[in-house]
Copies of this chain bind each other. A is one copy, B any other.
Amino acid sequence: MSKYFLTGGSGFIGSHIVERLLKDGQSVTVYDNLVTGNRKLIEHHIGKSNFKFIEADILDVEALNKAMPGHDIVWHLAANTDIVKGNNNTDFDLKNCTIGTYNVLECMRKAGIKNLMFASSATVYGDMPPKPLAETDGPLLTISLYGAGKLAGEGLISAYCHLFDMRACIYRFGNVVGGNMWHGVIFDFIQKLKNNPKELDILGDGKQEKNFFMVEDCIEGMLTIYEKMEKDCDVFNLGTDTYSTITGVADIVSEEMGLKDVKYNYSGGSRGWRGDAPYVHFNIAKVKKLGWAPKHTSDEAVRIAAKRLIGKE
């Protein structure tokens, strides 16, 4: 049994990881400020002997230094998840991602904790050229402050691994989807269509190509990489090498909601908003070499997530 410390453990992805780890008989501490996270997703575990919940912020260094020692592995997921909010409040990702990640690393160093898993993002690539990008591709000119925060986190982590003999997996996620979501395009489309089943406002021209990725696949991929990674610090694209268009997502959501002839109103332009990369195709050969591949295509992931959110599954 290992002792896991999950920052952001009551968020969408975090809460799925908690379920998985507890099922595997691991010990889990969730450290979450509940700003993005949701207590309902983890409160059914409270009282279990191998589960602990601490409501606190990664910017609260004192609380972090008190809570983290004694754990074996830190799974660092805490971050802002709203890219537009981060662009409008320019110090939000600087604090909650960059400085937060520094605090986590510094606390690990002081507590002698050597193992880290970090949720980075495809956003570090910025506007992608029209080809699937691999981890060896640069120059990583991100177009959102969320992406800048993730990139800064990657740099801090790789430096700490080299300087202080830590081991870290950096995961660049595609668009992770599943149940328990309360943000993102699938969730938004469902809310909009519940309000008005005849028309749907779509940001951009709908031709944006994104790789959507099932949260269970994501967790399986992270655990495989953690187990099999050879270097002390390495970075992996974690997503699918398939993609869905945003109009395609609207089609799947409409279909699963039993709606026909929904009129799509496009706001126009190639990207949904400033800071949104319209084209996100991954080369996932590196993680496949470790013997893992996603079980679901992007369209399948969108459909399953839609079903769960609608309550059909």
Please tell me if the beta carbons of B156 and A148 are within 8 angstroms of each other in the complex: yes
Please tell me if the beta carbons of A106 and B135 are within 8 angstroms of each other in the complex: no
Please tell me if the beta carbons of A156 and B145 are within 8 angstroms of each other in the complex: yes
- Alpha-carbon gap, A233 to B138, bound state (A): 14
Name the residue among A91, A135, A138, A274 with the largest chain B CB count within 10 angstroms.
Answer: A138
Using a CB-CB cutoff of 8 Å, which residues 151-167 of chain A contact chain B? Answer: 151-152, 154-156, 158-159, 162-163
Number of A residues with CB within 8 Å of any CB on chain B: 41
Residues of B within 8 A of A235 (CB): 139, 141
Please tell me if the beta carbons of B109 and A102 are within 8 angstroms of each other in the complex: no
A94 in the interface, Cβ–Cβ < 8 Å? yes
Known contacts A102-B91, A152-B152; decide if A163 and B144 are in contact (CB<8 Å). Answer: yes
CB distance from A113 to the nearest CB of B (A): 15
Residues of B within 8 A of A87 (CB): 159, 163
CB distance from A25 to the nearest CB of B (A): 33
Name the residue among A127, A135, A142, A162 with the largest chain B CB count within 10 angstroms.
Answer: A162
Please tell me if the beta carbons of B91 and A159 are within 8 angstroms of each other in the complex: no
Please tell me if the beta carbons of B137 and A138 are within 8 angstroms of each other in the complex: yes
Please tell me if the beta carbons of A159 and B139 are within 8 angstroms of each other in the complex: no
Please tell me if the beta carbons of B98 and A152 are within 8 angstroms of each other in the complex: yes
Residues of B within 8 A of A126 (CB): 158, 162
CB distance from A90 to the nearest CB of B (A): 6
- Alpha-carbon gap, A138 to B122, bound state (A): 13
Name the residue among A149, A154, A159 with the largest chain B CB count within 10 angstroms.
Answer: A159
- Alpha-carbon gap, A159 to B90, bound state (A): 10
* Shortest beta-carbon contacts, A-B, top 5: A152-B152, A148-B155, A151-B155, A141-B158, A143-B162
